Structure 1
Amino acid sequence: MIVFFAGSAYDGVAGTDRHLADELATMRPVLYVDPPCSVLTPLLRTRPAAAMRARSMLGPALRQEKSGLWRLVPRVLPGTRRPGMHHVTTRWTRAKVRRAAARLGQPVTAAIATVPDDLLGAVEGVPTMYYVTDDLAAGAELLGLPRRRLLAAERRQAEAADALAVVSPVLKERFAAMGLDAAVVPNGCSPAAYAGVDEAPWPDDVPRFDRPAAGFVGNLNGRVDLDLLEGVADAGHPLLLVGPRDASCPAERFAALTARPDVVWTGMRPHTELPRYLRAIAVGLTPYVLNDFNRASFPLKTLEYLAAGRAVVSTALPATDWLREDAEGAALVRAESSREAFVKAVGDELAASAEHGRAEPGKAEQSMAGRRRAYAARHDWKYRAREIADLLDQVGGPRDSGDQARPGR
Structure 2
Amino acid sequence: MIVYFAGTPYDGVAGTDRQLADRLNALHPVLYVDPPVSLLTPLLRPHLAGAFRPGMRLRQEPSGVWRIRPRVLPGMYRPGMHHVTAALVRRAARRTGRRVARGAGDRVAAVVVATHTDLLDAVPGARRLLYVTDDLVAGAELIGLPRRRLAAARDRMAARADTVAVVSPLLRDQFEARGIDAELLPNGCAPEAYEGIGAAPWPDDVPRFDRPAAGFAGHINARIDLGLLEAVAGEGHPLVLIGPHDPGHHPARFRALVRRPNVCWTGRKSFAELPSYLGTIRVGLTPYLLDDFNRASFPIKTLDYLAAGRGVVSTDLPATRWLRAFPGGRELIRSESTPRGFLRAVGEELAAGPAPDLVARRREFAAGHDWSRRARSLAGLVDRDPLSCAQEEPAP
TM-score computed with the length of structure 1 as normaliser: 0.90
Contact 1:217 1:243 in 2 (8 A): yes
Q: Which amino acid aligns with 1:386?
A: R
Please identify, of 246-255 and 152-161, the stretch whose mean Cα deviation from structure 2 is larger: 246-255
Pair 1:166–1:205, CA change in 2 (3 A) = same
1:260-282 CA-partner distances (Å, limit 9, x unpaired): 11111111111111111110110
* Cα offset, 1:206, TM superposition: 1.2
Contact 1:323 1:332 in 2 (8 A): no
Counterpart among 65, 88, 99 of residue 92 in structure 1: 88
DSSP 3-state at the match of 1:38: coil
Please identify, of 190-199 and 318-327, the stretch whose mean Cα deviation from structure 2 is larger: 318-327
Contact 1:4 1:33 in 2 (8 A): yes
Q: Does 1:130 align with 2:130?
A: yes
Q: Give the Cα separation in 2 of the matches to 1:223 and 1:182.
A: 25
* Cα offset, 1:52, TM superposition: 3.1
Corresponding residue number in structure 2 for 1:2: 2
1:313-340 CA-partner distances (Å, limit 9, x unpaired): 0000011111225525751111113222
Corresponding residue number in structure 2 for 1:53: 51
Contact 2:98 2:108 in 1 (8 A): no
Q: Give the Cα separation in 2 of the matches to 1:329 and 1:122.
A: 41
Q: Give the Cα separation in 2 of the matches to 1:329 and 1:254.
A: 32
Q: Give the Cα separation in 1 of the matches to 2:62 and 2:31.
A: 11
Corresponding residue number in structure 1 for 2:313: 313
* Cα offset, 1:204, TM superposition: 2.0
* Cα offset, 1:81, TM superposition: 1.1
Q: Does 1:76 align with 2:66?
A: no
TM-score computed with the length of structure 2 as normaliser: 0.93
Q: Give the Cα separation in 1 of the matches to 2:362 and 2:38.
A: 43
Q: Which amino acid aligns with 1:62?
A: L
Q: Give the Cα separation in 2 of the matches to 1:44 and 1:148.
A: 24
Corresponding residue number in structure 2 for 1:291: 291
Please identify, of 92-101 and 309-318, the stretch whose mean Cα deviation from structure 2 is larger: 92-101
Q: Give the Cα separation in 2 of the matches to 1:344 and 1:248.
A: 29
* Cα offset, 1:242, TM superposition: 1.0
Pair 1:247–1:156, CA change in 2 (3 A) = farther
Q: Which amino acid aligns with 1:33?
A: V
Q: Give the 5 Å matches for 1:243-322.
A: 243-322=243-322
Q: Which amino acid aligns with 1:95?
A: R
Q: Give the 5 Å matches for 1:188-227.
A: 188-227=188-227
Pair 1:151–1:72, CA change in 2 (3 A) = same
Corresponding residue number in structure 2 for 1:335: 335
Q: Which amino acid aligns with 1:61?
A: R
Corresponding residue number in structure 2 for 1:403: none
Q: Which amino acid aligns with 1:373?
A: R
Contact 1:28 1:68 in 2 (8 A): no
Q: Which consecutive unaligned segments of at least 5 residues does structure 2 have?
A: none
Corresponding residue number in structure 1 for 2:363: 373
* Cα offset, 1:68, TM superposition: 2.5
Pair 1:343–1:328, CA change in 2 (3 A) = closer
Contact 1:36 1:74 in 2 (8 A): yes
Pair 1:330–1:149, CA change in 2 (3 A) = closer
* Cα offset, 1:67, TM superposition: 4.0
Q: Which amino acid aligns with 2:9?
A: A
Q: Give the Cα separation in 2 of the matches to 1:201 and 1:179.
A: 52
1:216-275 CA-partner distances (Å, limit 9, x unpaired): 111111000000000001001111111112244221111111111111111111111111
Contact 1:287 1:315 in 2 (8 A): yes
Pair 1:204–1:252, CA change in 2 (3 A) = same
* Cα offset, 1:311, TM superposition: 0.4
- Root mean square deviation, CA, Å: 1.9
Runs of 4+ in 1 over 6 A off after TM superposition: none
Contact 1:130 1:158 in 2 (8 A): yes
Q: Which consecutive unaligned segments of at least 5 residues does structure 1 have?
A: 400-405
Contact 1:378 1:407 in 2 (8 A): no
Q: How many residues align?
A: 387
* Cα offset, 1:380, TM superposition: 1.0
Contact 2:29 2:65 in 1 (8 A): yes
Q: Give the Cα separation in 2 of the matches to 1:174 and 1:43.
A: 37
Contact 1:38 1:76 in 2 (8 A): yes
Q: Give the 5 Å matches for 1:17-28.
A: 17-28=17-28
Q: Give the Cα separation in 2 of the matches to 1:270 and 1:329.
A: 28
Q: Does 1:349 align with 2:349?
A: yes
* Cα offset, 1:203, TM superposition: 1.4
Q: Give the Cα separation in 1 of the matches to 2:28 and 2:86.
A: 25
DSSP 3-state at the match of 1:122: coil
Corresponding residue number in structure 2 for 1:117: 117
Q: Give the 5 Å matches for 1:101-116.
A: 101-104=97-100, 105-106=103-104, 107-116=107-116
Q: Which amino acid aligns with 2:343?
A: V
